[in-house]
Amino acid sequence: MSKNFEVEMLLDIKTPMRDGVNLSSDIYLPKSDGPFPVILMRTPYSNNGDDIVKTSISYANRGYACVIQDVRGRWDSDGEYYPFHQEAKDGYDTQEWISKQRWCDGNIGMIGGSYLGAVQWLSAPLKSNHLKAIVPRVMCTDYYNGLVHPGGTFQLNVMMTWGMRTSGRTAQTIDYHNWTKAFHSLPLADLGGSTGRSMAFWQDWHEHQNDDEYWDEVNTERRFSDIEVPALIMGGWYDLYATDAFDNFNGMRQQGGSELARQSQLIMGPWPHRLSQSTKTGDIDFGSPSKIDLDGIERRWLNRWMLGEDNGVDDEAPLRLFIMGTNEWRDEQEWPLARTDWQTWNLHSEGRANTARGDGTISLIESGEELPDTFTYDPEFPVQTIGGNNCCSPDIVPWGPYDQRPVENRGDVLCFTTEPMDSDFEVTGPVKLKLYASTDAVDTDWTAKLVDVSPDGYAKNLCDSIIRARYRKGFEKSDLLKPGRVYDYDLYVGVTANVFKAGHRIRLEISSSNFPRFDRNLNTGATPGYDSEVKVATQKVFHSSKYPSHIVLPVIQRT
């Protein structure tokens, strides 16, 4: 579709929901005889923002009608705002309302990232007959594990900064807060006491520590079989939702409710939450190939499924991955890759793996009779977050790859490192850690981070994760520890596609905090968020024939 229509604007059009609440929609129409296929964007960030308006005009120029709607309780829309839980019905009702308008030809597609991706995933299972395709960028479908409580912790930085920014009817400034003080404030559930702002959903997020019916209500990951339209998923290796992008891809490819839904695709680049805005993410410039025209790719997808355009989308590989290290794109068919060599790399030391200068190593040699590594975790002095899969305020907590040596100099960070690679060594897929550990507390956290170490010592983070010990058996209910007992933990360290170049080394960091990305475990066993007492914990990580801690790397042979 290459036409260049002039555009007519219809602003603040009231769109009725089933409960009588009116939402505000701005509509951009081609100046031509309709009806038209319709692009729908639903946002809490104002339907009058420069970028979203430019996107709408661009689609209207090409012959699409475009509807931008403020979600319930935000900007010009009536009602009370509450994240996620109202979006399924409101999205469906909006789709049905659009289908009845004279300018709609009955075909609707949805686009947008982050919360604009959430509203797509949430409404799709309701199966409006008029929804034909979605293009959700950078969003999870499991809000418990993907956003609010990853690994059973509380994703502090994101939930506090983003939550406060969206807590009012319009955008709320967060620039003047003392974030160091706010992040450290206890009890954590008392947000008003630390920031002067009260948010009902903040209290609910803390009330629902377990993965219960509150979270199930908005869990689309359990409802992929109800989605009958194809999804073009877009994500980044350094995005908050990197792992979720593949969960969504596999969910749609394997469980989608129609043959069309099972033709969903995924593009994964070396980007943070703001996809393909620059060749540089964090410290690293990934080169000119890394910046691609995602908008053009999106339009091809919509033209295929909404207009029936025979543009070859059906014949393309379902998975397009950017391989870091060699900085190249590669088409693949499935995730994990069928040709993956799952290699078990075992942890070793003589009990002194503390810091990058310690004696911790990783190798293919099986664990023997080795001393455990010990460190002290003090919640008053947590390990600092330096980059990584963060969102959504990089000026407060940076995102992307950064040099991890500052945290690797800490005695409460265990570092296990390989010998230099003899040749290029590719790790592409999900990375998993089996950890055997003990603590003298009744609850604590364990963190893991995969790092690419250059010959000059620069330590580039690739992916990381965390597990709250009380949720080691699952997130439906907590189970406190017996101090001193050795437990095994499964940590899904994350996803990556990285070539460790010849001479580089692979490093695994293990600790008990990554702050302020995640909240601090106070080690007391009290209900998280409602406790102010702090206990220092003594941690032990085991690697022996009885307790063989190891990391499983998805190795891809390079030809």
Our answer to whether residue 26 is catalytic in this structure is no
Q: CA distances (Å), 139 to each of 44, 248, 251, in order?
A: 15, 9, 14
List of domains in the chain: 7-137+227-331 (3.40.50.1820), 341-556 (2.60.120.260)
Catalytic residue among 25, 56, 114, 290: 114
Exposure string over 471-499, b if 16+ CB within 10 A, otherwise e = bbeebeebeebeeeeebebebbbbbbbbb
pLDDT of residue 356: 98
CA distance 126 to 30: 29
58 CB neighbour count, 10 Å cutoff: 16
227 CB neighbour count, 10 Å cutoff: 29
CA distance 182 to 188: 9
Q: What is the pTM of this model?
A: 0.97
CA distance 22 to 25: 9
Verify cis geometry, omega within 30 degrees of 0, for the bond prior to 392.
yes
Catalytic residue among 149, 177, 206, 273: 273
Q: Considering only CA atoms, give the Rg of the chain.
A: 24
pLDDT of residue 516: 97
**Average pLDDT per consecutive 10 residues, the chain (559 residues; last block may be shorter):** 86 97 98 96 96 97 98 97 97 98 98 98 98 98 98 96 90 84 93 78 96 98 98 98 98 98 98 96 97 97 96 96 98 98 98 98 95 98 97 92 98 98 98 98 98 98 98 97 98 98 98 98 96 97 98 95
406 φ/ψ angles, rounded to the nearest 5 degrees: -60, -40
CA distance 113 to 266: 14
Our answer to whether residue 273 is catalytic in this structure is yes
CA distance 235 to 167: 26
Our answer to whether residue 24 is catalytic in this structure is no
Catalytic residue among 76, 211, 239, 443: 239
